[in-house]
Chains A and B, each alone.
Chain A
Amino acid sequence: MKKKRNVVTIVIADDDAEDREMIRKVFEKRHLGNPLVEVEDGEDLMDYLLRRHTYAHLQSEPLPGLILLDLNMPRIDGRDALKEIKSNPKLGGIPVVILTTSNSEEDVLCSYKAGANGYIVKPITFEGFVDALGVVQRYWIEIVEAPVE
């Protein structure tokens, strides 16, 4: 039987602990019940998604239903992680929404070309975050049908 979208795990991939906190607070405020997983860079994200190294014990757990992906991160950055996710047959269906400070046309274009499902420039106020992530939550978690494992 198909799993319900509203219990899928959401992954926050961002090297900035304060931004991760901000995102967590926004979802708290919006009473989002979905489990949140935080990873600090692209390598950490790929380890989590591929259930390897420190995440090997999650082998039998379902894959996340949404990834919020920062672009500028150490080790493997968001651009490379996005390409790896979208070219992997097992992971390619997971919606990825870019959440970054970069508003460069090139980043926007390249992200969509690489298969990003959305692109949001990090808002400058808490209210802005609440608005933007509210739309993400409503659209990707509550409305849209996405492939689920």
Chain B
Amino acid sequence: MDTEGVVQAINKTGAARLGKVPADLIGQNVYSLIPAEVRTRRMELITKCIMTGEPVRFEDRRGAIWFDQVLYPVKNESGNVYMIAVFAMDITDRVSAEETMKRTMAELGRVNAEMRDFLFVSSHDLQEPLRKIGGYIGLLKEHLGTAADDATRDYLDRMLNASQRMHGLIVDLLELSRIITRARPFGKVDLGMTMRQVIDDLEIQVKECDAAIEVALEGTIEADATQIRQLFQNLLGNALKFRKNDVRPVVRVSSSPNAVPLDILGIHYGISELVVIRFADNGIGFQPKYAEKIFGLFQRLHRRDQYEGTGVGLAICKKIAERHKGCIIAEGNPGEGTVFTISLPIRQLSKGEFMGESD
């Protein structure tokens, strides 16, 4: 079309979209062909194309159909725009897929928020009756005093143990839900310093089993400091707990920035640089087939009388890694130690950057 909007040439598809054949449209003005409600905006876009001499791209809806349109300036010898080439591509499928995705994401966000509330409230409220059970078992023991025989005492002790174990589970569940509900904003976190704090915190356990901990952690990442500390603490605690009885535990904690295996990088998107942290121990290891299962909630590979714990520690690690848009994997073999590999973004991209938007 020319700069006044008079159609110079049009293909069959373009004409068919207006319910015409090309011959009917040539010589007509586009402004009389397009619906009144989009006319003003179209005029602005065409004017912009003419004034700037740059292509203008926009999305346009005609009924149920979406078009990706480009107004392309055609210039004469002196560089002035004297014609405009209009290209339109049907992108209805893409737009509807995007809308479905937006709706699904919103729904997911809502369900997630509900789950978080549910987890927090239920674990909080579950503690109340449990406390009563524990309290009254104690009172019952007091009340029976010496009148209770051995079997009665034994049963009461088992009940008390079970209620205390459930209390432990609920406390851990609460902690898991807090990864999201009590999340703090990301700030600068020094990995080496965080690890040193964790070793200080676990000093008693470290001394108890005479563990050697070698740390070669470097760099600073953008993260939730409390959560990174908890992540390191759970992993070091794990390495110490699942040590071999007859071997001095050695835990090597190291980092390598940017050295990211492609298969790990592949599951991220919108991430600039990653730091890869390794926790390698010489402990009892595990069967490779459980490599994913161990991150599941309440998943344990050992009997309670062998190793205590509720099976929440690694689930918390996974949640923390995921909240930072990172990931954690475990590798190992029975008797050959365990290696946890955590990859975390060095910088957390804002939502706009993450979605690939410029504004």
Asked whether, in the complex, the Cβ of A124 is within 8 Å of the Cβ of B167, the reply is yes
Interface residues in B137-160 (C-beta closer than 8 Å to A): 137-139, 141-142, 160
Q: Does B132 belong to the interface (CB within 8 Å)?
A: yes
**Chain A, Cβ-Cβ closest to B124:** A101
Contact of B167 with A126 in the complex, beta carbons under 8 Å = no
B61 in the interface (beta carbon within 8 A): no
Residue-wise, chain B 220-246 has the 8 Å CB interface mask toward A (1 for contact) of 000000000000000000000000000
How far apart are the CA atoms of A101 and B124 in the complex, in Å?
9
Q: DSSP class of A's interface residues: helix, strand, loop or mixed?
A: helix
Given contacts A101-B131, A124-B130, A125-B160, A25 and B139 within 8 Å (CB-CB): yes
Give the chain B neighbours of A123 by CB distance below 8 A: 131
A2 interface residue (CB < 8 Å to B): no
Query: Chain A's nearest CB lies how many Å from the CB of B179?
Result: 16
Q: Does B135 contact A (CB under 8 A)?
A: yes
For A124, list chain B residues within 8 Å (CB). 127, 130-131, 134-135, 163-164, 167
**Nearest chain B residue, comparing its CB with the CB of A130:** B138
Interface string of A116-128 (1 = CB under 8 A from B): 0000001111110
Q: Is the C-beta of A22 less than 8 angstroms from some C-beta in chain B?
A: yes
A-contact bits for B246-263, CB 8 A (1 contact / 0 none)? 000000000000000000
Q: Which of A25, A29, A122, A127 contacts B131 (CB 8 A)?
A: A122
**In the complex, chain B residues whose CB is within 8 Å of the CB of A61:** none
The interface residues of chain B lying within 8 Å CB-to-CB of A122 are: 131
Residues in A whose Cβ lies below 8 Å from that of B137: 125-126
Q: Does B200 contact A (CB under 8 A)?
A: no
Q: Mark A8-29, 1 if CB is under 8 A from B, else 0.
A: 0000000000100010010001
Out of A18, A25, A127, name the residue touching B132 (CB < 8 Å).
Answer: A18
B135 CB to nearest A CB, Å: 5
Q: Quick one: closest A residue to B133, CB to CB? A: A124
Please, what's the 1-or-0 string for B328-359, where 1 marks a CB less than 8 Å from any CB in chain A?
A: 00000000000000000000000000000000
- The CA of A122 and the CA of B160, in the complex, are separated in Å by 16
B128 within 8 A of A: yes
Contact with B164, one of A22, A25, A125 (Cβ below 8 angstroms): A125
A94-137 Cβ-contact flags toward B at 8 Å (1 or 0): 00000001000000000000000000001111110100000000
On chain A, the residues within 8 Å of B139 by CB distance are 22, 25, 126
Once the chains are docked, how many angstroms separate the CA of A91 from the CA of B163? 40
Asked whether, in the complex, the Cβ of B127 is within 8 Å of the Cβ of A101, the reply is yes
**Chain A nearest Cβ from B139, distance in angstroms:** 5
Judge whether B127 and A126 touch: CB under 8 Å.
no
Q: Which residues of B contact A101 (CB under 8 A)?
A: 127-128, 131
Q: Are A125 and B128 in contact (CB under 8 A)?
A: no
Q: Which residue of B lies closest to A122 (CB)?
A: B131
How far apart sit A101 and B134, CA to CA, in the bound complex (Å)?
14
Residues of B within 8 A of A29 (CB): 142
| B128-A126 in contact (CB<8A) | no
Contact across chains for A127 and B138 when beta carbons are under 8 A apart: yes
CA distance A145 to B85 in the complex (A): 92
Give the one of A18, A123, A125, A129 with max B CB within 10 A: A125
A: residues with CB less than 8 A from B are 18, 22, 25, 29, 101, 122-127, 129
Q: Pull 29 A–B residue pairs with CB atoms less than 8 Å apart, ordered by A.
A: A18-B135, A18-B136, A22-B135, A22-B139, A25-B139, A29-B142, A101-B127, A101-B128, A122-B131, A123-B131, A124-B130, A124-B131, A124-B135, A124-B164, A124-B167, A125-B134, A125-B137, A125-B138, A125-B160, A125-B164, A126-B134, A126-B136, A126-B137, A126-B138, A126-B141, A126-B142, A127-B138, A129-B135, A129-B138
Q: Which 4 A-B pairs have the closest CB atoms?
A: A126-B138, A125-B134, A124-B134, A124-B131
**14 new A-B contacts at CB < 8 Å, known A124-B163, A124-B164:** A25-B139, A25-B142, A29-B142, A101-B131, A122-B131, A124-B127, A124-B130, A124-B135, A125-B134, A125-B135, A125-B137, A126-B134, A126-B135, A126-B138
